[in-house]
Amino acid sequence: MAFSEGYRHETAWFQAPERQRKKRERNMHILMGPNNMPGFDRHQMFMDVISWILYWGSQHREFDEAIKWLAEFPKYLCGFTTQDEEDWFDEQCNSYYIDLTARRHDSRYLACSKSLSQVLRHEKRTYLCSERGSMNIADLFDQISWQNPKQYNMSAAQFAAFWLHNPKQGFFVDIHMQWEWYPYSSAAIYPFDVRLGCLQGHSNQVVDPYALQITHGNMTTTCAWDWFFMSLVPQMYPRFNDLA
């Protein structure tokens, strides 16, 4: 990681004024590992690596398109953008939301969205999934074949907009930082592992409503189920009203 240390200071988005307006809330990613360093330092290292790959690496043509695509996705997903990039990203979020909420035969990307959620929720090969039910982004794309977002010519930034504002909310992103990265090794090594997942489904074994805590307004899923079952008691046992 020594190659990229401090390189975030060279980027336009890091030097942007603090009054820059973020138009989209970024709340679906978790930056994980290495666990032997403070979270603040981990976040700085993450910004340094992304900046080095996308700016220095692009200028000197050091990296292939795969690693640049992988770096651009979290850049927009986490909000490392200038104001112009943020305005463009906001327009992309709006367009994908409109497309995915349209009628099935009018939507261009609905089939892609359903394929992604189907694999993440019902994947039987558990060795592809982490304990949280997330799957490496490359493995996920391989599973959905022709519904792969790259088959739609999506850039990484566009896929971030597609993923962030998909109306079927319930997606999340795990980003596992690597303590060591050798960018010039003969084997393909990446500085971080991007894993995508869903909050409900058999892949992560979240099938018990009492095991899943998702807030809906002021009511959690657990509370909702409690209310549902309690509402059935008077109907199943009429004498319960007399006892009450």
**Residue whose structure tokens are 């709006």:** 94
Residue scoring higher pLDDT (1 or 225): 1
pLDDT of residue 102: 81
Mean pLDDT of 50-75: 80
Rounded to the nearest 5°, which phi and psi values hold at 197?
-155, 175
Could you tell me the pLDDT band of residue 43, with boundaries at 50, 70 and 90? confident
Which residues, in sequence order, are CB contacts of 188 under 8 Å at separation 6+? 66
Cβ burial, residue 27 (10 Å; 0-12/13-18/19+): exposed
User: What is the reported pTM?
Assistant: 0.75
Pick the more confident residue, 2 or 243. 2
Q: Which of 145-149, 204-208, 216-220 has the highest mean pLDDT?
A: 145-149
Walk across the sheet containing 192-198 and list its strands.
Answer: 29-32, 171-177, 192-198, 135-136
In this prediction, residues 49-63 reach a mean pLDDT of 75
Q: Burial of 149 by CB count in 10 Å (0-12 exposed, 13-18 middle, 19+ buried)?
A: buried
Residue 36 has pLDDT above 90, yes or no: no
pLDDT tens-digit profile of 155-189?
Answer: 999 999 999 888 765 789 999 888 777 766 666 57
Pairing mode of beta strands 171-177, 29-32 = parallel
pLDDT (tens digit per residue) in 66-119: 888 999 999 999 999 999 999 999 999 999 998 888 887 778 888 888 888 888
pLDDT, tens only, 221-242: 444 445 455 555 455 555 544 5
